[in-house]
Chain A
């Protein structure tokens, strides 16, 4: 009996130590957005890099656990942590009281805060009325800027890259951004800017974990303390924020960039053609309904079509993506983009189809009827073939317009060509080359469509089906 007990005990200990070993090698799942250079972002070669990423890797090595990075939306990152889909966020999250109520923060792994930057050579007078300060939309920097410089004119931008571009073009006098972000821009893009004055406010950046995950919190704190005292941390600091500029070769990787741009182009084409395909079906249905039901149904549809044509595409996109969830309809950014393109193109195509239908002389329908054709036969064999020459060029024009307008879906983070280029620009700061490349890519797709439209029109004109002036 004691031998059996000893055996069971040793077996138990064996399992426990095996479990411990297994637990140690279990990956640490780290959440971040991948959209916050230089802290975490996708480099020109499409790989996840940045200060946060380097810190996370250093900590993983010290914890002897493999790192597993999960890209998440910023507004869903804490719920992912609390629901156990990730174990920690190493994504430049600032410690706040509100966040502290739901998660536990480690010691800060860096300090930063809002900082005013001005061109190195300028003699700025931020107190002067009309002093122009650029900030990124959706940050608290604008609020602080107004408090600190009440006479200044605050301009908002989509991102830091755009603010910096305008600062360098002298369209604004100063910008406010995170101090470390600004220092990184100065370093990596050889931006001729300098910080002016002290921090507008200070932020402590730390790693949140689940409150129940006490052992991970303890381990992370131990390793963070050790890491911050090590030369490794100093080297990372220098690499990203020091005086030595980073080599541009690191961020200028032509084949990788071409690959990313082509992938963006593919997504642009997928979104455009799926959306327009759906739009064509929708417009065929709308046209048939409008033409076969006069009265209030036709009028209501005509008003709906005019409404879509008279409102901006971006507003429609936002309404679908941000508006519909409030009445319980949720869809991915990709699907929202396709739906918005479908609705927008359907409105234009319906108008085109209606115009083409009305351009076919009513005598043609009467002739068909007098020959005993049914309404459907008349539409199918007499009216539609005559609408086709009138539809072709305007439809291709709409397709071209829609492919160009699909760039707008980048605002809801769909990784199509334009957003891909913007991300590469934020990594490489080569706006001229990249935007030129993007323009050429759009042109390569749209120009053949325009040519095709013209050729078809000429062919129809030769057949006497279309009058081309």
Chain B
């Protein structure tokens, strides 16, 4: 895939909650490249946009394509291998160990060689000593890395992160920025965050969002 071909293509996306229009006629095109960020005040619709791209909520109008494939026309299982999402509060499964969290989807989707990939991922994230721990035994930063690994094991083309620095101190934020820059080589990173100093560490491509609309050059 060439660098200038569009990885994510959003056309006139509208999402409503009740009478409120959270996203209105939003269009965006993101090509593969450096980590991409969307900034904006809370309530501007950033998270809703991520959830829509991840297929967790159905748009009222408009289309979302990843690698030219409309994500509304494919199954959950297919979509999970194209788009991954790391939630702001991680949403690890508390009844599973770190390893079980990471391997649940691969086990259900019968993906071969997942155990080895998980081991490599854990090593890369410096989590290999903690594979048998449970989420409540981990620190916030460690939990986030489990959530990253849980998404990355499915090798998504696009990895979405919702406010990844929200619960982290300055030191951990810096480590995360380094990590995300590295991970961007596997999966295109798309971050939404209002933490500009965090984004300054690694995100050169940015758009800001206000009241459900993007401001600036939406053809990045």
Task: Name which of B16-24, B79-87, B116-124, B192-200 contacts chain A.
Answer: B79-87
> Contacts A372-B79, A463-B134 hold; do A366 and B56 have CB atoms under 8 A apart?
yes
- B interface, size bucket: 20 to 34
How many whole Å from A398's CB to the nearest CB in chain B?
23
A residues 12-58 near B (Cβ < 8 Å) are: none
Q: Which residues of B contact A465 (CB under 8 A)?
A: 94-95
> Contacts A366-B87, A465-B95 hold; do A371 and B154 have CB atoms under 8 A apart?
yes
Expressed in whole angstroms, the Cα–Cα distance for A374 and B83 within the complex equals 16
Asked if A363 is at the interface (CB within 8 A of a chain B CB), the reply is yes
With beta carbons under 8 angstroms apart, the residue of B81, B95, B135, B137 that contacts A372 is B81
Asked if B219 is at the interface (CB within 8 A of a chain A CB), the reply is no
How many whole Å from A366's CB to the nearest CB in chain B?
5
Task: Name which of B4-12, B35-43, B101-109 contacts chain A.
Answer: B101-109
How many whole Å from B100's CB to the nearest CB in chain A?
10
Q: Which residues of B contact A367 (CB under 8 A)?
A: 87, 91-93
> Is B77's CB under 8 angstroms from A372's CB?
yes
How many whole Å from A377's CB to the nearest CB in chain B?
5
With beta carbons under 8 angstroms apart, the residue of B91, B105, B135 that contacts A366 is B91
Q: Which residues of B contact A382 (CB under 8 A)?
A: 93, 104
> Is B80's CB under 8 angstroms from A370's CB?
yes
| Contacts between chains A and B (CB distance < 8 A), count | 68
Which of A367, A370, A374: most chain B CB closer than 10 A? A370
How many whole Å from A381's CB to the nearest CB in chain B?
6
Q: Which residues of A contact B94 (CB under 8 A)?
A: 386, 464-465
Asked if B186 is at the interface (CB within 8 A of a chain A CB), the reply is no
Q: Which residues of A contact B137 (CB under 8 A)?
A: 464
> Is B95's CB under 8 angstroms from A463's CB?
yes
Asked if B68 is at the interface (CB within 8 A of a chain A CB), the reply is no
Asked if B175 is at the interface (CB within 8 A of a chain A CB), the reply is no
Asked if B143 is at the interface (CB within 8 A of a chain A CB), the reply is no
A residues 418-469 near B (Cβ < 8 Å) are: 463-465
> Contacts A367-B87, A464-B136 hold; do A372 and B56 have CB atoms under 8 A apart?
no
Asked if A385 is at the interface (CB within 8 A of a chain B CB), the reply is yes
Expressed in whole angstroms, the Cα–Cα distance for A377 and B78 within the complex equals 15
Expressed in whole angstroms, the Cα–Cα distance for A26 and B55 within the complex equals 83
B residues 102-151 near A (Cβ < 8 Å) are: 104-105, 108-109, 134-137, 150-151
> Is A381's CB under 8 angstroms from B87's CB?
no
Q: List 30 A-B contacts (CB under 8 A).
A: A361-B91, A363-B89, A366-B56, A366-B91, A367-B92, A369-B55, A370-B54, A370-B55, A370-B80, A370-B87, A371-B105, A371-B151, A371-B154, A372-B76, A372-B77, A372-B78, A372-B81, A372-B154, A373-B104, A373-B105, A374-B76, A377-B108, A381-B108, A386-B93, A386-B95, A463-B134, A463-B136, A464-B135, A464-B137, A465-B94
Residues of A near any B CB (own CB < 8 A): 361, 363-364, 366-367, 369-374, 377, 381-382, 385-386, 463-465
